[in-house]
Structure 1
Amino acid sequence: MAGGSIPHFQNDAGHAAIEIGVKEFMCVGANPPFDHPHIFIDMGDEAEAVCSYCSTLYRYSPRLKATETMPAGCLYVDRAA
């Protein structure tokens, strides 16, 4: 994703799987203060990846935009203090 920012996703609701519209992203676990280290995940040629910290299963869906998730609400947006 050269020239753009890497989207971050979270799983506060404990979904079994989250569909996303990108293959390179960061997983934060849950929203702070319950997050884990923000780790970079690259699916490469695969359509699924599991976060090694929180075990969230991410599935690539080409029908979604980079900031969309299914279920909705899993995009992490850093809130400035």
Structure 2
Amino acid sequence: MAHTSTPHFHNTEGLKRIEVGSKEFMCVGALPPFDHPHIYIDMGKDNEVVCAYCSTLYVFNAELAPGTSQPLSAVYHAEPA
């Protein structure tokens, strides 16, 4: 059983590049209601990946804590239901 949830990131600011501290995460595009389907991304052995929906370049940065990003504003926090 997983003890942590998968981090989610967004690119509402339209950045060309977002550094992330996780190689497995969800991309939501822009903040709702302008989001795209929330897709799971796994970098595997690579250190960067481009989201197929919004073309955001995500770059793994081992110096960042898991679930965080540079800029920090790219971390998506879902509104409580």
Q: TM-score, normalised by structure 2?
A: 0.93
Task: Give every structure 1 segment of 4 or more consecutive aligned residues whose post-TM-superposition deviation is greater than 4 Å.
Answer: none
List gaps (5 residues or longer) in structure 2: none
Q: Percent identical across equivalent pairs?
A: 54
| Distance in 2, Cα, partners of 1:60 & 1:28 | 17
Q: Give 2:21's aligned residue.
A: 21
| Structure 1 runs not aligned, ≥5 long | none
Distance 1:56 1:12 in 2: 10
The corresponding residue for 1:44 is 44
Q: CA RMSD in A?
A: 1.0
Q: How many aligned residue pairs are there?
A: 80
- 2:22·2:68 contact (CA, 8 Å) conserved in 1? no
Quick one: which amino acid aligns to residue 56 of structure 1?
T
| Structure 2 letter corresponding to 1:54 | C
Question: Partner residue of 1:78?
Answer: 78
Cα distance in 2, alignment partners of residues 43 and 74 from structure 1: 18
